[in-house]
Amino acid sequence: MARWQPGATERLVVAAVDLFTEQGYDATTVAQIAERAGVTKSTFFRHFSDKRELLVAGQETLSRLLADGITEAPANATPLQAVAAGLECASSAMGPANRELGPRIEAAVAASTELQERDALKSVGLAAAMTAALVARGVPDTTAHLAAELGVLAFKRGYAQWSEGDRDDAEGLAPHALAALEDLRMATASLS
């Protein structure tokens, strides 16, 4: 087993998704994941605290990209325009590997209460990062929270559409996430 091969994080995530799909989350051990990924168990624990964390790998990066996009939005951008900038920034980091794993990760999460709870915490973390970035722009707290929650929902809806959609669609995630945000904006306008 090679100890320091590059790409260990990605290999661990793919191995975990494969095993979760084949035998279920509860039946999969850390040792099996490490073996499938071609790393040692100690290498697994250098990258992840437990097997739940595999399915939210990259959350910190995603949170940072969403917040960076909001921070870099034009000064006169509305809160939802700033969120759209965050979605575009985060979408730029999503490539074919993310698209391929999306439906498989979704299936693993749907089959496990423990993973559903961890996925909900991921959503809370993403919303918190966007809320903080919006508040730093001077957006009132309640408005920032609402815009951030819409941003998380738009990201999830756009990601689902993109990952389950036509493989010949070369546009990437951004158009899907932005369309989902626009749909949500229109839906909120109809609430009054």
Q: Which residue type is seen at 39?
A: V
**3-state SS assignment for residue 111:** coil
- The mean per-residue pLDDT over the stretch 146-172 comes to 88
- The mean per-residue pLDDT over the stretch 11-21 comes to 90
pLDDT at 1: 39
Nearest Cα to Cα of residue 96 among 23, 188, 189, 169: 169
Cα–Cα distances (Å) from 8 to 48, 64, 118, in that order, read 11, 22, 22
Choice between 72 and 163, residue whose per-residue pLDDT is larger: 72
Q: Which residue type is seen at 163?
A: S
**Cα 22 to Cα 128: distance, rounded to the nearest angstrom:** 34
Convert the pLDDT of each residue in 112-149 to its tens digit. 888 888 888 889 999 999 999 999 999 999 999 999 99
**CB burial of residue 111 (10 Å; 0-12, 13-18, 19+):** middle
Retrieve residue 34's tokens.
């490490």
**Cα 31 to Cα 80: distance, rounded to the nearest angstrom:** 44
Decide if 56 contacts 120 (C-beta within 8 A). no
Choice between 167 and 143, residue whose per-residue pLDDT is larger: 143
pLDDT at 46: 92
Decide if 52 contacts 117 (C-beta within 8 A). no
- The mean per-residue pLDDT over the stretch 140-162 comes to 96
